[in-house]
Amino acid sequence: MKLTSKGRYAVMALVDLARFDNINPVSLRDISLRQGISLDYLEQIFSKLKKNHIVKSIRGNQGGYVLSKNPTDIKLTNIFHAVDEKVKTVQCKKDSKKGCNGKATKCITHNLWDELENHINSFFEKKSLEDLIQNRKENRL
Amino acid sequence: MKLTSKGRYAVMALVDLARFDNINPVSLRDISLRQGISLDYLEQIFSKLKKNHIVKSIRGNQGGYVLSKNPTDIKLTNIFHAVDEKVKTVQCKKDSKKGCNGKATKCITHNLWDELENHINSFFEKKSLEDLIQNRKENRL
DNA sequence: TCTAAACTTGACCGTTTTAGTCAGGTATGA
DNA sequence: TCATACCTGACTAAAACGGTCAAGTTTAGA
């Protein structure tokens, strides 16, 4: 049970972006250098973040990315959803005969996995980008 | 972020085992049939559970496995630990120069991942095998 | 004593996912 | 007009996953 680097990088990059986007758009190149993430990989990630309306892009020279919402309104769950970082605790397929088919004959531990999924997702729904920036500031003082 | 089938199967098998081990040891063959898990794979899993003192084996004809502790004393965290189902949210290596090396220059989101790990692990530490059996009984009534 | 049931161990392997790289673009401010 | 930066899609090496297969050892019961 582990977090993928896509999800981790997305959050890191957005925290970085949030710190610098007051004045100018931030280029992926800068984020790449500061965070040590490959530029090509960042482009993949930001393409998804853009599709999900978390960031906006400004093309051309001196271009870059800016947040498209207030950091308070960007929850972890939005970010993870954008980059396909899903929480999957069950693998019960609808057409399986053995075990759980999602209907009548639930596998004996099905409730447990549902609980676990909710437990994790509640964490993601609570945390906003703003929380992370604040947290960082506190640690810096 | 997903649960591996090893962890999932381990819990399913142990719940099954807990239900039947009052009288006789339970053979993996029976569990395999009831839960739809490959016998060979179950053997790998139970080998690990045995090494971690969660079950005991009785060899020979009419043999099988029994729990080596009271279901109340077997927490999910014990089971997952036994089958190497770890919760990994960070991949910060000690010798990395960029990003987080675990010491002075923590990556900017390090605290977040620690929080997440604790959040998930607290769930595993609370739940015992006994809880799952009870839960099952309630659903049956 | 023999045999079948059940545990034991370890090697092996196809598939999928991960974590990127690479190679081309297109848009635009200076 | 050109350097900068976004944009897109194909490609891939390596690791993890989810098992299978083979060859045992041990022991209860006939």
For the ranges A128-137, B88-97, B119-128, the maximum mean pLDDT occurs at: B119-128
The upper half-sphere exposure of residue B10, i.e. CA atoms within 13 Å in the direction of its Cβ, equals 27
Amino acid letter for position A84: D
Say yes or no to pLDDT of B97 above 50: no
Handedness of CA A89, A93, A98, A100 (dihedral sign): positive
Q: Read off the pLDDT of residues A41-59 as tens digits, 9 standing for 90 and up.
A: 999 999 999 999 999 999 9
User: CA-CA distances (angstroms) from residue A121 to A80, A115, B10?
Assistant: 10, 10, 23
DSSP bridge pairs for B121: none
Cβ atoms A61, A23 nearer than 8 A: no
pLDDT value of position A97? 47
Statement: residue B20 has pLDDT above 50: yes
SS (HEC) of chain B: CECCHHHHHHHHHHHHHHHHCCCCCECHHHHHHHHCCCHHHHHHHHHHHHHCCCEEEECCCCCEEEECCCHHHCEHHHHHHHCCCCCECCCCCCCCCCCCCCCCCCCCCHHHHHHHHHHHHHHHHHCEHHHHHHHHHHHHC
Of the listed ranges B9-23, B51-65, B120-134, the one predicted with least confidence: B9-23
Please determine, for residue B138, whether its predicted confidence score (pLDDT) is greater than 90: no
Residue A140: per-residue pLDDT = 60
A5 CB closer than 7 A to any strand C atom: yes
**B40 CB closer than 7 A to any strand C atom:** yes
Provide CATH code, domain B5-140.
Answer: 1.10.10.10
Domain boundaries, chain A: 5-140
Mean pLDDT across the stretch B78-102? 74
Pairwise CA distance, residues A66 & A18, whole Å: 8
Question: What tens digit of pLDDT does each residue of A114-133 get?
Answer: 999 999 999 999 999 999 99
Would you place residue A28 in the very low, low, confident or very high pLDDT band (cuts 50, 70, 90)?
A: very high
| Unique residue bearing structure tokens 């965290």 | B77
Between CA A58 and C1' D1 the distance (Å) reads: 21
- The nucleotides of chain D lying under 7 Å from a protein CB are 2-10, 16-22, 25-29
The pLDDT-based confidence of B13 (bands split at 50, 70, 90) is very high
The residues of the protein lying within 7 Å (CB) of strand D read: A 2, 25-29, 40, 43-44, 46-47, 50, 57-65, 91; B 4-6, 38-41, 43-44, 59-63
**What are the beta bridge partners of residue A67?**
A55
| pLDDT at residue number B100 | 58
State the pLDDT at residue B122: 96
Convert the pLDDT of each residue in A67-110 to its tens digit: 999 999 999 999 999 999 999 898 765 544 445 555 445 667 88
Q: According to the model, what pLDDT value does residue A110 have?
A: 86
Residue in B92, B98, B112, B122 to test binding to A, most A beta-carbons within 10 Å: B112
